[in-house]
Structures are given as structure tokens and as C-alpha cells.
Structure 1
Amino acid sequence: MESLLTAQLKLIPEMSDLLQKRYQVLQMIQLSKGIGRRVLGEQLGLSERDIRKELDALRNQGLIEISRDGAAISPEGTKILMELKEVVREWSGRLQLEQTLSKILHIKEVIIVPGNVDTNTNATMLLSQEAAKFLESILSNDKIVAVTGGSTIASISNFVQDTTKWKNLMFIAARGGVGKDVTLQANTIVSLFSNKTNGSYRTLYMPDSLSEEAYTTMKKEPFIQEMMDLYEKTSIIIHGIGDAEEMARRRNSSEEEIERLKENGSVSEAFGYYFNDQGEAVHRIRTIGIQLKQLKNIEHLLAVAGGAKKAKALLSYFKQAPEQTVLVTDEGAANEMMNIISQTN
């Protein structure tokens, strides 16, 4: 089917716009699991007239079902999405962009979803869905998975399939609490993942940032020693990459501390380390959690971050990221990274 569609697009190039539109409509319906016409149009930036036309076409083909709850994808529609995924990825130019970025960033793989999470909630869902699919592809029995916090990482659990096929899976908090929203903290997120996969979880109930005295004392506690042992046995880490100033404010850093970070050239943050635009660690907080030196021994590193605003932070972090990292991002971040790279070369 892939070669046939590619040939058709070359013969009738104007078909590509219609294909893209209907693919996006179908994809959004799958993500939403019941969505009204008006909301669908707002999400995709299409008029009500266009949405009505596309929904009628998809329903007539048996790809969606429409009820009082809205539009929902049919089994045939799900099948079509799967069959078209790789073709659309290549035809849209994302495949080539993924390959180019993975070479530039010196990492194992880059996966790019359509859109920009800064402006499109649809892109946020696609980002989470793709990360969930990749996670499911690398999970197996007896794995320990460390998870950081944040809204992006939390949303991934929504797209992990409920299953009991894995045995002895354990999800552990990769760091302590950051910010005031408990739903976005690692301790909460690990429970969400474990519920979906019939696994267990371990929490780390303490602040992400500790004083020197508290850090020294807590490292001696038996439950901390147990967590440190689990970190050494971890096979998979799911983590985000933050903007340095944004993360400092989430940690309630003082204005003086934020100013010092700026003076040191801090651009990105991950695992309690702040990096400049050359990928050098210019500051770190005292934290009980996954340490930077441990990353090189982790089998799978799944980094998830999107949005054009994150481009500088991503380029900063990936100057030193382990090569086994897989990045799931969006077109907004990917295109902005390429713009920055082209301007600096």
C-alpha cells in the first residue's frame, strides 16, 4: 500500500492536501475517543463547513461512527491510520528530518509528531501517544523504569494500554517533588504507569532540592539506600528536558539564584543539572534521585519534550546526552532546532 500511495501522490500531487487533511481529522478523532464537530474544527483550525464535509466522507467510508457523544473511530479507521502512518511520515518530510536531527544530536533516534505543543493541544496528545507507543515497545518482564515529573511525562500514562502481559514491572520516582502540583510530580506519575501495566511502584517523598546538611543526613537513611540501589538496576528512564529559568521558578528559586543561573549561561535543565548552550553543567542542585553519571549505563533513555520554545534547551541538553537516547518531539521544536543550527553554522 505504501508504494501505491507514493506513486499516486506523484501522479496527482494535489491529492496530498486532501490526504493530509483527512488523515489529521481521523487521527484527532482517534485521540479524542468521542469528539464534537465544533471542538474538532477548533483543534484542527478548520471551518465548521470543512469539518462537516470531512466527517461525512469518513463516515461514508466506514472509518468513523457518529453518535450523540460525537465522532469516534471505527476498527477500519484504526487500521487505515496504521497503514498510512509510515507513508505520511515519509511524504511529509518528517522521516528525513528525524534522520538528520538524530545525526546532529548524536543520539539513537528522533521521533517527530506533527504540530507545535506551544500552540496546539492536538500536538500535545500526539507527543504523549507516540512516547507511550515507544515505551510499550521496549518494556519487558522484570524491568525497572525510572520516571521524572512534569505535565508532558504525566500525560504519557493516558496513552499506555491497560495490560497484564508484563511480569514484575516496577516504576520508580527518578526525583523528589518539584513544584506545588502533586499530580505532576514523579511520585504520582509512577502510580499511574503501574496501574496501567499491572506493575508496582516506589515513591521518593522528599523535596527535589535539599540543603547540604539534609542531603548528607538523608543519604544515610535505609529507604534512600534502597532507592539508590534501584537506580543502579534501572533499565529505562522516561524524562523531560526543561528550560533553565522555568525549572528554577518551579523550584521556587530566589530571584538572586535565577540571576546567577543566567549569568552562568544556563539554558536547559534535566536531572537537577543546569546546562549552558555548549552542554556544560554550570550548576546542580543537591537531590536524591537519578544522577547524571548514571545515565550512560541505562539501556533505554526516553526523552520527551516539544514546542518551538524548547528548541534552545533541547540543543543545549543534547550536547552531552548519552547516545542511546531516543527523543520524542514535535515539528515546532524540530524545525526551530534546525533554524538555530543553520544560523550558527
Structure 2
Amino acid sequence: MPRRFVFAFAAAAALLGPAAAEAAKPPEVTVMTRNLFLGADLAPAINAPDIPTAIDGAGTVWNELQSTKFPERAAPLAREIKASGADLVGLQEVALWRKQTPSDGGAKPISPLAGATPATAVEFDFLALLQSELKKAGAKYKVAVVQNEFEAELPVDADHDDATGTGPLASFGADFDARLTMRDVILVRTGSKVKVGKARTGHYKTRYEPSVGGIKIPVDRGWTSVEAKVGTRAFRFLNTHLEAFGDPKIREAQAKELTKGPLKTSEQVILVGDLNSGDAQDHEPEQPGDELAFKALTKFGFKNNGARQSCCFKSLFDPAGVFDHTVDHVLSKPGLKTVKASVTGHDASERTPSGLWPSDHGGVVSRVRLR
């Protein structure tokens, strides 16, 4: 800007007083990414070589879900969100667990039985439980957009006793059917200076597709976004959860789909989420290629605005658990100034009465200054 215009602007601001100076100051926005942890490791079921083993594995998954007590974990998670003061929150693994007793053999895409019907009785609705705790905590947040991702249903041998089975797969010990629907959600704080408009959602074409007993399971992952504005400053807020399993090139391809789709815009973008990927300099990758998705986004022009070391507890019950790497991110393009950033969910005072950490991940809260 020519110097004479700078002087003219400064003189005008001085004449108009504090109001003009405040109007000239770039606005700031606080955002948060929070993986709630779906409640169990799905590997015993989705990595099973055949249906009987998958039914046993589903029992292991179900029992772990009960032990990780999301209704109890929802309280500290709600307090975290309230304390963050975040204008916009991107949530991942907002699970919906449903049950059907007796078993009728499960449901698509895994069930080999024709006519099997989906379970409908709600066991745990993570979104409803979190909303209830937010209300109790006095945190006023409303849902801006919800996207259903991976969904599957299996018969469950919860007691690991084939003699107690029900339904057409009773000989394999099926006690009931359990249905999991994974969801990604964006919350907006009521009364925030950030106003949200059009919401968009999408699924990735590239996906992980494990096989259980020769039956292919499509693991859908995707993204949610809202168009947002502070005064006259507009930006896009996008939340995603990239693939955690399989070849790291799957999540790299998903990141590239983002750069060719909803991230391909001239407006300011704030991207949050569990990328299952990070800077290779930040930690030793669990397997070669773990950094590829993060590299694809930074190569596209995204800047890291988040605090590091947000992942992951191997057990919610381990009081000595620590975070030792970063997969949860706040990124921006064009790069925005980070005013402050922090990680939540690793203070011992946040553990539940049963001694559980709020999640296996930490939350990442970042305050950024818009251009």
C-alpha cells in the first residue's frame, strides 16, 4: 500500500476514534476438533476371517463399548467444549449404537441372510447424550450439520457361549444384533459472532473395504462443512475424519479428494479433524506413509494452526496414559495467524468417576485471526 494511503487511513482512524480502530481490527474465531471415541476397537469384528469369528469379535467389541461408558464420558467432553468457548466445533466418531433382541442374523452389508432387518432400539446415541450434557453444563451449542458415515450390523455373542444363541445363527452364539452408525457433526455456539449459512456434506470415493468371510464391507468416510461469516469476513469451516485402517495411501487419496473438491476455493478455509496423519518430524510414524495425507494438504497450501501431541491413549483406563503424536489438526488456507492453541483431555482432573479418560484422543482448540 502506498505510504500516503497508510497515513491517510491512520489519520481517519484517529479522527473517528475507537470505533473505527475496532472496525479495522481483523476478527478472531475459535474453533475446536474433538474425536469422541466410538467406544471400542472394531478390529476383532471387521478383521475376522469368517462369520462365526466375526460374531465372537462383535461380542468383544460390544463388551468393550459397555466398559467405556459414553454416558459418563459425555460430561467431561461437554465441559471441555464449554471451556473452549469455541465458535465452531468439528466432532468425529459421534457413534449411534442400536440393538435388536433376539438376533435375526444381522443386516446388510455383512449379514449373509436374506430378509434380516436393521436394529432400531437405541443403546447409545452419542450426539443426544453429548447435547444433554452440554445443556446441563450451560453450554449453548446447536447442531449445524450431521453426516452418516460407516454403518454395519452384526450378530453379537456377548457372553461367548454358543449354547445361548438366538435366531438363525444361534449355533454361533448370537445373543442379539448390534448396529453401529458412525457420524461426523459440526456444532455452532448459540450467540456466537460467527454466523453460519449453507451446509454441505460429501463422501470419499476412495475407501477402505475389508472382507469378513468373503463379504466386502464398504467403510464410508466423508466431510461436513458450513459457510461462515464474522461481520463481512467470510470463510468455509470443514470437518473431516480420514481413514484410520488399511494402506496409508487410502487416506492420502481422501485428502487429495478434498483438495480437488470442497477445499478448492478462493475463500478462506479452516479445516479441522482427525486426519490420522501428521508431520513426520512430530513423531515416529506407526507405519510407513502415515504422513502422506498431511503432506498432501500442506503441499496444497494449508498451514498448521493447532497445538501438537493430541493422540492417543491405548486404554481409557490407564491413569499414566500420555499423548505422543499428532493426528488431530486445525489447518487454514491461506494461512491464518494463530492467536493461541491448546490440547484438551489429558488432565487427570478430567477423568470420570470410573477412572476413564474422556476419549482416546485429545481435543485441539485454536483461536485464529481471519484475514
User: TM-score, normalised to structure 2's length?
Assistant: 0.30
Q: Which has the higher strand share?
A: 2
Q: Which has the higher helix share?
A: 1
